[in-house]
Amino acid sequence: MDGLSKRFSTILESGRQSHAYIIEGGSPEARREAALELASMLLCQNRDRSTNRPCGLCTGCKKMAQGLHPDLVTVSPHKGMIRIDAIKEVVAQLKFPPLEAQSRAILIFDADRMNPDAANTLLKTLEEPPKGNCFFLVVSSQGSLLSTIRSRCQVLTLHTHKCSLYEMEKDGDQRFLELLEELELEEPGPEKLQWALETRGRLLEALALYHLEGKRAKAVSTALSLSKEISKDKDLFGLLFFILKTLARDTLAIISGGDREDVVDLLINHASATLLGHIAQSLDEEEVIQHLLRLEKLENMTRRGINLEYASNSILLFWFSEHE
Ligand SMILES: [Zn+2]
């Protein structure tokens, strides 16, 4: 559970709920996600008693997931600006109590794009908010809002530390990064995590070229130049082993899972299930286990100083060849 939902949960618990929040910090996607998550917490009819997380199953959650909840109101800039009409339209709805949930959630994305008229109209509402409404003003930084608006809101800050990496990636990558953090002896810095993601991305792209698009020559040359780059840095080189182990482990899961569809949920490299499924078709368990053993062996050898480029070429090529 991320920090922001936790803090919001504490607020809900304490009963000292505000009627307006500013969500700031993080990437635009992360802010958006956080705002929707907090709105879900408000609109769920059966949220978890200890964490206050939305249940995901009730009608409130279902409607929210479909973007159809009548008590969810969203405003975004139109042609770069939020104009007074858009805010007036929201204010008009507030006269009525929420239709289905205890509280209506009003999300104003890029709230700093409100023009002065719009901002003043909103301010009037924030000064005397009708009951049963909760505003979330989503901005990169609270400093971009009028101080009069700021003083009416509670500020929730998304921390970019470490999370920024997760935020910019799809959720499937989180599993990969978390595992990496668990396995590494020293805590990997953000650059190392970034590098691991990038390298894995390039590798998966090359694999897709090879196995899905049949552009084999191009794929192999991409892999070899990646290998050359990787072998320049001993530290980063170790990450290649980690990446390949996750691929091998996923492939094994697919092979032994047979036709089970839920195997996908187990994959570390979740988002590449199709590609890995394709690769798994031409491999058997024994081959993958041999590859894993070879990875272990080479990893030990690199500590004794064998040529890194040779080592990475030889392990990478396992993935770029025909196993019939
Ligand atoms: Zn629910």
Question: pLDDT digits over 14-51, tens only?
Answer: 878 899 999 998 888 889 999 999 999 999 999 888 88
As a whole number, the mean pLDDT across the chain is 86
Q: pTM of the full predicted structure?
A: 0.52
> Which CATH number fits the domain that encloses residue 122?
3.40.50.300
Examine the fold and report which residue of 143, 166, 189 is the final residue of a domain before the chain moves on. Answer: 166
Please say if the pLDDT value at position 170 is more than 60. no
- The vertex-232 CA angle with 230 and 236, nearest 5°, equals 50
Q: Cα of 36 to ligand 1 centre, how many Å?
A: 13
Structural domain harbouring 9: 3-166
Q: Cα of 23 to ligand 1 centre, how many Å?
A: 22
**Residues 6 or more apart from 288 whose CB is under 8 A from it?**
248, 251, 252, 255
Phi first, then psi: give them for residue 107, nearest 5 degrees: -105, 125
In this predicted model, what pLDDT tens digit does every residue of 244-265 receive, in sequence order? Answer: 999 999 999 999 887 777 788 7
Residue 322 maps to a domain: no
In this predicted model, what pLDDT tens digit does every residue of 211-222 receive, in sequence order? Answer: 988 899 999 999
| Ligand 1 ion: nearby residues, β-carbon < 5 Å | 44, 46, 54-55, 58, 61
**In what side-by-side order are the strands of the sheet with 104-109?**
72-75, 104-109, 133-138, 20-25, 154-158
Alpha-carbon gap, residue 156 to 144, rounded angstroms: 15
Q: Cα of 53 to ligand 1 centre, how many Å?
A: 8
Give the count of domains, the chain: 2
212 and 264 share one domain: yes
186-202 mean pLDDT: 80
